[in-house]
Amino acid sequence: MNDEEDATFDIIVLGTGLTESIAAAALSKAGFNVAHLDRNEYYGSGEASLSFDEFIKWQDKPQPFIRGASRSGDSIEQARAYSISLSPSLIPSTGPLIDALVASGVSRYGGFRLIERVCVYEASGIVKPVPGSKEDIFKDKDISLLDKRRLMRFLMFTAGDFEDKKELEGHADSPFPEFLKTVFSLNEEMTDAITYALAYCLSPTDPTLPALHRLRRYLRSAGRYGASPFLVGHYGSSGEIAQGFCRTAAVSGAVYILGRSVNEETISSDHQHVIQLNNFYGRLTASLVIHGSSSATLHAAVVPPPQALSAPFSASSPNYPVARGVAIIDRPLSLGVPATQFVEGEEAADAPPPPVLDTAVVVFPPGSLPNGGSSTAPATALVVGEGTMSCPKGKWISTPTSTPPTPRARPPAPDPRTLYQPGALPDARAVLQPYLDAVLALASPSHDADATQPPTPLFSTFYVQTPHSYVSGAPSTDDEPGAREHLAPVPLPPVFPLPDAGDAAAVHAESLFWEAVRVLMSARGGGEGEEIKSMWPPMESREEEEEDFS
Amino acid sequence: MADPAASGSVDKSVQVKLVLLGEAAVGKSSVVLRFVSNEFQANKEPTIGAAFLTQKCRLEDRVLRYEIWDTAGQERFHSLAPMYYRNAQAAVVVYDVTKATSLEKAKSWVKELQRQANPNIVIALAGNKVDLVQASASSPGAPSSSESEDEADDATATPGENPGSSEPESLRQVPREEAQAYATEAGLLFFETSAKTGEGIVDIFTEIAKKIPIEHILAATRGAGGRPGAAGGRAGSQQEGAVNLDATAKPKDACNC
């Protein structure tokens, strides 16, 4: 096709966020004719990885769910060498996203790196590495024998099938820190570390069961690729991964049109969706349209993720705004004693330890900052360096994030479709500056003799991301012809526990995929065509790859 | 160097990511298929829709393993993902000698590469479909030039200047000299090729291989987490921090221990 001709597809996907990109890749691989569109010039929608200049451009343009940005600095050297993530997150080494990456072959496009260190910030102003293994716990001299035993008991409980255990009885919904203290008699310090730096709870009131589910997944992730349970992708992670899925879709024949917005969408007399893009002459027709969560208006049948899986990914994800920050610094963090190296395989056992920390997470439990910071909400700061290909040598990107609870922002029963009421937006800089300062104070001393001061960021910005003000076209449109062939994933909340955003996207993509397959098959009149049995067909080009390898 | 796994250069090929660019229908895929199937004659046809094609290229004592990325059509509406250029050590920009506009397009791709890609990328300009402009009798004469030269410029004097040039030559819209001059000025390798006859195809890849800074790649691979190509890390994946999802995940499935 060219941009002068009309073209017909099975399905049109709007938006190239991770969810839509995974779904598009799977649908294209399954043999459906896919057109994948994005009004932005870049891939990844709200999860994009942007170069420095693109990021500034992004920030200067009004964005649907972004408010109150402030920043210092508009330029930086080697601007192209940065990949700034709009949705910084970690990837657990086992889970739906990793499964999708491997099964689809997209893992071959991208590079990944283990998180080297997770530290928890304690009220005393010191940081402590979070133990990554039983061994770490045994070796830790700061933990009393009794506490070690309690901690081990809790970890054994969590790693096992806790669902029917008596310890959980009556506590599934109680706040997780309370559960840790009352049921496992863990002290304050350990409770904080477990709640925020192992289970990545977003508030002290997070319910116990989802937190346990998460923690179990993370515990089981440790050791797959190294001691750390978490990975981060190269080049800004999620945005690059989205590009990988899009390429996979394209390789299977999907058509990509970026940088054009939808001018008009109509339903033809034969129930086809007809989309007219701006600056694009031809019209696109399809029997099904998927609206990504970043495309604004719609009357779509919202596809919820499968019930069984939903608990781990969304139950504790609040639908209130998140304060985000991005800072570029030129000194690495120095986070105390080296933890045990992440290498378990023999090959790398004798590799020298990394000279400087490339990737780290600093977790701030509520009230851990003596001056400033929230007393009720935790904050995290992900730091990535050159090894993640996200910034040039000698630079690090730190992304502090916090979800300060705002008045009446938390609905009693979280409903992802609730329209967020603006008016109670936190001031991102006020919320995050203390955390950024604390991170900067952890930077290694400069080589300059007189520079004992914490480094000044070369660039910093703060902004607020609000939940999608997403109004679902009342589900009562079921009888309206055509309305059924219009799908949208449940919009993801703006913030997840740090390691969960990608898995949530993968889970949502899978339910979108199956729903789309169902609709498309019935549109074809059933019977015709093969039945689709799995989301990712076995890969064919495999042997060729191996053969060359040996 | 005693440890063969660590030395990289001995029994492991150097992996080079090569990207293809050019206007639609200039023959990008055909150029690659010709290159790849030449050595794999007995094998099955390369899978269309493969993530990328691979082909080894021997060069003295070294083996380069090209990982060749096709645009998969994403260039059509200017929607090529930045990931496409990332870590590419080589690019082949293809135009069609019978279509003047395709050279203009090629020039804009070269600009794009110089803007987006690794600054050390080796770029080759390939004027394809040269079989269409050769009088059929003279076709074997011109090529086979660049076997051992650094540049292939002095080989085919002027296949387009034969005064008696019959109809085929009149199809030519891009004079060889014009493209050659542009390539020299922009620092590109230059070839006229025919995916149909095979002329010039292997030369592109061997000349690129000669120009690629292999030592540099090896050093980067062993060094600080750099991945040579996309799936990269074959040699580099073992080093600290960098993870190859497939490599580690598979043995686990296999032996379950």
A384/A460 same-domain check: yes
- Residue A485 phi, psi dihedral angles, 5° rounding: -85, 40
Cα dihedral: B73, B78, B79, B81 (round 10): 100
In a domain, A101, yes or no: no
**How many pairs of residues across A and B have Cβ atoms under 8 Å apart?**
136
In a domain, A1, yes or no: no
Cα dihedral: A202, A208, A210, A212 (round 10): 100
A295/A362 same-domain check: no
What residue spans of chain B are helical by DSSP H? 4-7, 28-39, 82-85, 100-116, 167-170, 176-186, 201-211, 214-222, 245-255
Q: What residue has token string 């969590």? A: A158
Q: CB B107: neighbour CB atoms within 10 A?
A: 16
Give the distance from residue B112's alpha carbon to the nearest chain A alpha carbon, in angstroms: 13
CB contacts under 8 A, B 76-135 vs A, are: 76-79, 81-84, 86, 116
A351/A455 same-domain check: yes
First to last CA, chain A: 41
Residue of B40, B61, B64 lying closest to B50 (CA atoms): B40
Inter-residue contact A472 to A486 (CB < 8 Å): no
Strand pairing of A127-129 and A230-233? unpaired
In a domain, A340, yes or no: yes
Residues facing residue B190 across a β-bridge? B125
Q: What is the pLDDT of residue B42?
A: 34
Q: How many domains does chain A have?
A: 3
CB contact under 8 A, A102 and B5: no
- The partner residue sitting opposite A107, judged by closest CB among B47, B73, B245, is B245
Helix/strand/coil for A532: coil
Give the pLDDT confidence of A110-134 residue by residue, as tens digits: 899 999 999 999 877 788 888 777 7
In a domain, A546, yes or no: no
CB contact under 8 A, A548 and B54: yes
A73 touches B: beta carbon within 8 Å: no
Give the distance from residue B255's alpha carbon to the nearest chain A alpha carbon, in angstroms: 14
Q: What is the pLDDT of residue B104?
A: 96
The tokens of B227 are what? 């991945």
Range of the domain at A379: 50-85+112-129+226-232+320-466
What residues in chain A have per-residue pLDDT under 50? 296-298, 308-312, 315-316, 337-349, 353-354, 407-422, 470-484, 542-550
A278/A356 same-domain check: no
pTM: 0.85
Q: What is the pLDDT of residue A472?
A: 37
CB contact under 8 A, A257 and B77: yes
CATH number at residue A270: 3.50.50.60
Q: What is the pLDDT of residue B2?
A: 41
A75/A161 same-domain check: no
The Cα A480–Cα A502 span in angstroms is 34
Residues across chain B = 257
A343/A353 same-domain check: yes
Sequence-separated (6 or more) residues with CB below 8 Å from residue A462 = A68, A69, A70, A71, A323, A324, A325, A428, A429, A431, A432, A433
Cα dihedral: B55, B58, B61, B62 (round 10): -30
The Cα A356–Cα A335 span in angstroms is 10
CB contacts under 8 A, A 387-416 vs B, are: 387, 389, 393
**DSSP secondary-structure letter at B160?**
T
A205/A158 same-domain check: yes
The Cα A117–Cα A438 span in angstroms is 17
Residue of B157, B143, B159, B158 lying closest to B191 (CA atoms): B143
Residues of A in Cβ contact (< 8 Å) with B83: 109-110, 235, 240, 243-244, 247
A286/A298 same-domain check: yes
Q: How many domains does chain B have?
A: 1
User: In A268-358, at which residue ranges do the beta strands (DSSP E only) sit?
Assistant: 273-277, 283-291, 301-303, 322-329
ipTM: 0.79
- The partner residue sitting opposite A251, judged by closest CB among B51, B77, B231, is B51
Residue ending a domain, among A221, A248, A276, is: A221
CATH number at residue A205: 1.10.405.10
In a domain, A385, yes or no: yes
CA of B225: which chain A residue's CA is closest?
A: A387
Give the pLDDT confidence of B119-131 residue by residue, as tens digits: 889 999 999 999 8
A412/A422 same-domain check: yes
CATH number at residue A392: 3.30.519
CB contacts under 8 A, B 138-177 vs A, are: none
Range of the domain at B204: 4-255
Inter-residue contact A486 to A11 (CB < 8 Å): no
A357/A488 same-domain check: no
Test the A interface: residue of B23, B40, B54, B79 with most A CBs within 10 Å:
B79
A335/A434 same-domain check: yes
The Cα A4–Cα B131 span in angstroms is 31
Residues facing residue B54 across a β-bridge? B67
Q: CB B207: neighbour CB atoms within 10 A?
A: 22
In a domain, A538, yes or no: no
CB contact under 8 A, B225 and A347: no
The tokens of A469 are what? 């003000």
In a domain, A105, yes or no: no
In a domain, A386, yes or no: yes
A282 touches B: beta carbon within 8 Å: no
Inter-residue contact B107 to B93 (CB < 8 Å): no
Q: CB A469: neighbour CB atoms within 10 A?
A: 14
Residue ending a domain, among A432, A448, A466, is: A466
Q: What is the pLDDT of residue A409?
A: 42
- The partner residue sitting opposite A348, judged by closest CB among B65, B76, B240, is B240
Q: What is the DSSP string of A272-291?
A: -EEEEETT--SEEEEEEEEE
Residues of B in Cβ contact (< 8 Å) with A351: 239-240
The Cα A522–Cα A516 span in angstroms is 10
Test the B interface: residue of A232, A343, A541, A542 with most B CBs within 10 Å:
A541
CA of B229: which chain A residue's CA is closest?
A: A109
CATH number at residue B125: 3.40.50.300
B58 touches A: beta carbon within 8 Å: no
A368/A506 same-domain check: no
pLDDT tens-digit profile, chain B (257 residues): 444 444 444 446 788 999 999 988 888 888 888 888 764 333 334 445 566 788 888 887 778 899 999 888 888 888 889 999 888 999 999 999 999 999 999 999 999 999 888 888 999 999 999 989 987 544 444 443 333 333 333 333 333 344 444 566 688 999 999 999 999 999 999 999 998 888 999 999 999 999 988 777 776 665 434 444 433 333 333 345 678 887 654 443 333 33
